[in-house]
Amino acid sequence: MGPRVRGETDWGKSGAMTAGKHDTEDTADFGFRRVHPAAKPGLVRDVFESVAARYDLMNDLMSGGIHRLWKQEFIDRLAPRAGETILDVAGGTGDIAAGIVARRGIEGSVIVCDLTQAMLEAGRDRMIDGGVLHGIEWVRGDAEHLPIKSSSVDAYTIAFGLRNVTHIDAALAEARRVLKPGGRFFCLEFSRVDQKILARLYDLFSFQVLPRLGQLVAGDRDSYQYLVESIRRFPPQDELVRRMAEAGLERPRFRNLSGGIAAIHSAWRL
């Protein structure tokens, strides 16, 4: 059967991990729609349950394979070291975990945490097929309420997942909580393009091509429409830096990739 996904039989109700103090807010972004905050985790989970089987293929088609170069740059900047415990939140199908293992071998632990069962299963099966049987733990959990002990990980990574959480500030605070003193935070996310002509072309491709591609390849136009809209609702680079600092992450900074189509944000827990 391979490694078990922790929490796969004992999770409970949709959105349960995000209930609590944040539910007093009126609405949350779900793409261009506004929904009740308690409803968003279930809606996001439905999106990724739908696209999990074709997620990696769609990433290649949507980016022309460039997402692989972005992820390589991301792992280069992380520079994982032997013996470290690294938490990869919204780890999905395991791209970042696979890159970490390839870089340093299994000398250390990678915990892949994701809200969506189907994504975790796709990642776990992919690793097994690739002969990676050790060094990775698969955990089902919410970025805003991580099932991880405080001050227990050396590095926190999240790639193309922060824009899908209900409350970004709560997720950033959780990142700081689980990091050890001296631990490092890294976020790879779609961001704001800094060139006008490129921005126009990118908008045209995003709104006219990607949903149609999602319908053709994955049989799901609506999910890819949401993913495009979620990119546009995500805060720009400087705002995310400010919010990282407000969450207690120190020395926050960012590096644009491909003219700002994506960006790597990083910081420390000191």
Burial class (CB in 10 A: 0-12, 13-18, 19+), 21: exposed
pLDDT beyond 50 at 15: no
Residue 245 has pLDDT above 70, yes or no: yes
Task: Provide the 3-class DSSP secondary structure of residue 29.
Answer: strand
CB-CB neighbours of 150 under 10 Å:
12
In the predicted structure, residue 78 carries a pLDDT above the cut 80: yes
pLDDT band at 5 (very low <50, low <70, confident <90, very high): very low
Question: What is the structure's pLDDT at 21?
Answer: 39
Average pLDDT for 70-83:
95
Residue pLDDT, tens place only, 87-96 = 999 998 899 9
List pLDDT tens digits, range 183-224.
999 999 999 998 889 999 989 988 998 889 888 877 889 988
Q: How confident is the model at residue 17 (pLDDT cuts 50, 70, 90)?
A: very low
CA-to-CA dists, residue 207 to 202, 204, 213, 227, angstroms? 9, 6, 11, 10
| Mean of pLDDT values over 17-35 | 67
- pLDDT tens per residue, range 49-59: 888 877 777 77
pLDDT at position 25: 62
Q: How confident is the model at residue 265 (pLDDT cuts 50, 70, 90)?
A: very high
Assign 233 a pLDDT band (cuts: 50, 70, 90): very high
Residue 185: strand pairing partners: 156, 267
> What's the angle, vertex CA 35, arms to CA 67 and CA 229, rounded to 5?
30
Over residues 220-249, the mean pLDDT reads 94
Dump pLDDT digits (tens) for 124-141.
998 888 888 788 999 999
pLDDT attached to residue 219: 83
Average of per-residue pLDDT across 236-243: 98
Measured distance CA(109)–CA(118) in Å, rounded: 22
Lowest mean pLDDT among 11-15, 90-94, 245-249, 260-264: 11-15
227 in Cβ contact with 163 (< 8 Å) = no
Q: Give the separation between CA 80 and CA 194, rounded to whole angstroms.
A: 30
What CA–CA distances, in Å, run from 22 to 37, 145, 162, 256, 268?
7, 12, 17, 31, 26
CB of 135 within 8 A of CB of 108?
yes
Cβ partners under 8 Å of residue 49, min gap 6: 116, 117, 118, 119
Q: In the predicted model, what is the mean pLDDT of the chain?
A: 87
Q: Mean of the pLDDT values across residues 78-105?
A: 92
With beta carbons less than 8 A apart as the criterion, state whether 89 and 157 touch: yes
Return the pLDDT at 11.
Answer: 28
Coil, strand or helix: which one is 189? Answer: strand
Q: Which domains are assigned to the chain?
A: 16-194+224-269 (3.40.50.150)
pLDDT at 162 (0 to 100): 97
